[in-house]
Structure 1
Amino acid sequence: MADHKIFHMSFASVYPLYIKKAERKLRTKEEVDTIIYWLTGYDEESLKQQIDRAVDFTTFFAEAPKMNEAAPLIKGVVCGVRVEEIDDPLMQKIRYLDKLIDELAKGKKMEKILRKA
């Protein structure tokens, strides 16, 4: 397993960037949080704890209560790489989250983002 720089980045340092990206496109922090809850199983309190602890992405995903079983339905390109073809499980989880935030910023409906329709 390759050791990527992002694995050691604090989730708390990237989280505001997710929110900023969404808000620039007139989406909300609440929608970003909903995506994170859906993907990882965190709730409001446990997400806040992870942010307050400034855990890195490795810890953030290792401690995720339950990755959503529908996550493999997330398809597409992030950073020039198809998320469904990423071999490293941690990198794939990170890119799943990136892809969902991208979809939010592009104006997709939450039902589609959360793979409900």
Structure 2
Amino acid sequence: MPKHNIFTMSFARVYPMYVQKAQRKDRTQAEVDEIICWLTGYDQKSLQQQLERETDFETFFTEAPAMHPNTGLIKGVVCGVRVEDVEDPLMQKIRYLDKLIDELAKGKAMSKILRQ
């Protein structure tokens, strides 16, 4: 089965779109970074290194220190697909991130986004 195009796309290329989406709704880049770090286990320095290296999504998630144990609590629809029903593990991680950024842009409180 061929790889999905998003897997080979540079995370650094999509990252500014996440930030723009958040900022259009009066949220901040710092909040986007907090979500990404919460989900993947990266700290701010290692996140910046991934962006500078322009790693693809597959590498970005493969090298992630540790997916947060509460990712199973992320539920809902993004791009017409229920994130909890995505079968491909990598695509599910990408959809989790998309869902969290959507929640940020919709004005949800950070404590709820981070499933605290």
Partner AA of 2:20 in structure 1: K
Quote the residue 2:50 is aligned against. 50
Matched, 1:24 2:2: no
How many residues matched? 116
Tell me: CA distance 1:45–1:102, structure 2 relative to 1, closer, same or farther (3 Å): same
Alpha-carbon displacement from aligned partner over 1:4-30 (angstroms, at most 9, x marks no partner): 000000000000000000000000000
- 1:70 is paired with a residue whose SS is helix
Inter-partner Cα distance in structure 1 for 2:2 and 2:65: 24
Inter-partner Cα distance in structure 1 for 2:45 and 2:33: 11
Inter-partner Cα distance in structure 2 for 1:98 and 1:70: 16
Matched, 1:80 2:74: no
Quote the residue 1:70 is aligned against. 70
Alpha-carbon displacement from aligned partner over 1:17-62 (angstroms, at most 9, x marks no partner): 0000000000000000000010000011100000000000000000
Q: Any stretches of 5+ residues in structure 1 without a counterpart?
A: none
Root-mean-square deviation (CA), in Å?
0.8
Inter-partner Cα distance in structure 2 for 1:47 and 1:34: 10
Partner AA of 1:104 in structure 2: L
TM-score (norm 2): 0.98
Tell me: CA distance 1:2–1:78, structure 2 relative to 1, closer, same or farther (3 Å): farther
